[in-house]
């Protein structure tokens, strides 16, 4: 049987997990309901997006807007949200930053460069999205 070339229009589009913000790979078991798939794993499906996650997203946005020239880290976000018990919020703060970055609200930065939020590993900083900054700047006056 001859090899078939894939049709790019029939290829499933890439998705991002609603919980962790990482890219999801299409799987054959999801072929029938790919449009409804929101989570990359059972763990993310169980966790979902909680009120705490939404508060962390709001904290990220607030800190980024307040500290425009200073880096915002997931640790700072977690410490701001819960100063006395921040460690359990560290990974949820990273997930919140990834979700916001995929929506274009912030950039995730390593070594001064914006990086792909789905594949970032190790420490990172969060800054206002360059696209958002461009949208806020007034255009040339005629």
| 19-30 core/surface letters (b: 16 or more CB in 10 A; e: else) | bbbbbbeeeeee
Instruction: Report pLDDT digits (tens) over 45-93.
Output: 999 999 999 999 999 999 999 988 788 999 999 999 999 999 999 999 9
Return the pLDDT at 133: 46
Torsion angle in degrees (nearest 10) through CA of 66, 69, 75, 76: -30
- Do residues 85 and 122 make contact, with C-beta atoms less than 8 angstroms apart? no
Residue span(s) of the chain under CATH 1.10.10.10 come to: 51-134
- Do residues 23 and 14 make contact, with C-beta atoms less than 8 angstroms apart? yes
- What residues form DSSP beta bridges with 66? none
Tokens 């790919």 belong to which residue?
34
Report the DSSP pairing between strands 23-24 and 106-110.
Answer: unpaired
Return the pLDDT at 25: 83
Distance CA 98, CA 12 (A): 22
User: How much is the pTM?
Assistant: 0.78
Least confident of 37-41, 44-48, 127-131: 127-131
For the domain spanning 51-134, the CATH number is: 1.10.10.10
From residue 50, alpha-carbon distances to 10, 19, 55 in Å are 34, 9, 9
Q: Phi-psi bin for 111: left (phi > 0), alpha (psi -120 to 50), beta?
A: left
């Amino acid at each position: 049987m001859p090899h078939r070339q894939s049709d790019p229009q029939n290829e499933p589009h890439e998705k991002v997990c609603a919980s962790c913000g990482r890219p999801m790979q299409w799987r054959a078991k999801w072929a029938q309901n790919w449009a409804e798939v929101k989570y990359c794993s059972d763990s993310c499906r169980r966790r979902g997006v909680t009120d705490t996650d939404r508060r962390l997203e709001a904290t990220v946005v607030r800190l980024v807007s307040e500290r425009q020239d200073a880096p915002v880290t997931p640790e700072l976000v977690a410490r701001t949200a819960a100063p006395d018990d921040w460690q359990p919020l560290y990974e949820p703060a990273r997930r919140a930053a990834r979700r916001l970055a995929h929506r274009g609200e912030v950039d995730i930065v390593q070594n001064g460069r914006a990086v792909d939020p789905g594949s970032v590993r190790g420490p990172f900083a969060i800054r206002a999205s360059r696209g958002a900054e461009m949208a806020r700047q007034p255009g040339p006056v005629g």
